[in-house]
Amino acid sequence: MEYKNQIWNSSVEEIVIGYKEKKDSYLCTFCGEEFEKGHIFTVKDKMYDAFGAVKEHHQVEHGFTVDYILSRESSLIGVSEVQQQILSLMSEGKDDKTIASAVGIAPSTVRNHRFKLREKEKQAKLFLALMQSLEEKTKRSISQADCGKIEEIHPSATMIDARYDITEEDTEKTIKTYMNESGALNQFPAREKKKIILLREIMKNFKQHQEYQEEEVNKILERIYSDYATIRRALIEYGFLERSDDCSVYRVKE
């Protein structure tokens, strides 16, 4: 199953509530799991219709939206590491004095961060309005460059920089150059951008919400490239897969 990336195609409201409504189903905005209308689903041994199921799924699998977002890389959500730590403590209901002690700063500094984050929120509203208005005026998405559409970054990425400046044309050329028709690699490139493209393609061999033993992961990757250990490490390094502390169980990283 193709790696899901629903969050970038969702509105702010849909991200906050954790799901979006389609004509015939409800879709989790974080992992893409779909619940078809008119069907009954079991979540944690309880029965739900599609609407109830997507809401329960969101709570069980992802928890509160604020905590899910704060678990991402700070660069992905546009805050500093200190601000991310402060926001996480705020989410836990801590007061300014407790937050200051935990972070190692003065309570007045916490208050200053509150001010900065409030201003950032106001700027974000104007920025979203700016981008929407720009697209409406020019009839062109900001991601539409002259050389092709810039593709989205996977939300679990561990580093956000120019290496993700990848167009659909880049993807097509790289896959054609490094992969054969059966999806096997003839070479694993050194260039970061090409690595990301190929790792993203390799992720189509893994299913979300499924646990894999290391032997299973190795078996899947060995069919793709003889040095499967290198690919496995890269999938973890770039935030596509995560593994348990004892390295025995792997999952698609959300």
- 77-123 pLDDT, tens digit per residue, is 999 999 999 999 999 999 999 999 999 999 999 999 999 999 999 99
Phi and psi based region of residue 192 (left: phi greater than 0; alpha: psi -120 to 50; beta: remaining): alpha
Spell 169-181 as b/e; 16+ CB within 10 A means b. Answer: ebbeebbeebbee
Residues of CATH 1.10.10 domain(s) within the chain? Answer: 78-138
User: Across residues 8-30, what is the average pLDDT?
Assistant: 93
Statement: residue 214 has pLDDT above 70: yes
CATH architecture of 78-138: Orthogonal Bundle (1.10)
Mean pLDDT score of the chain: 92
Tell me the pLDDT band of 217, cut-offs 50, 70 and 90: very high
pLDDT at 5: 64
Statement: residue 201 has pLDDT above 70: yes
In the chain, pLDDT over 70 holds for what percent of residues? 98
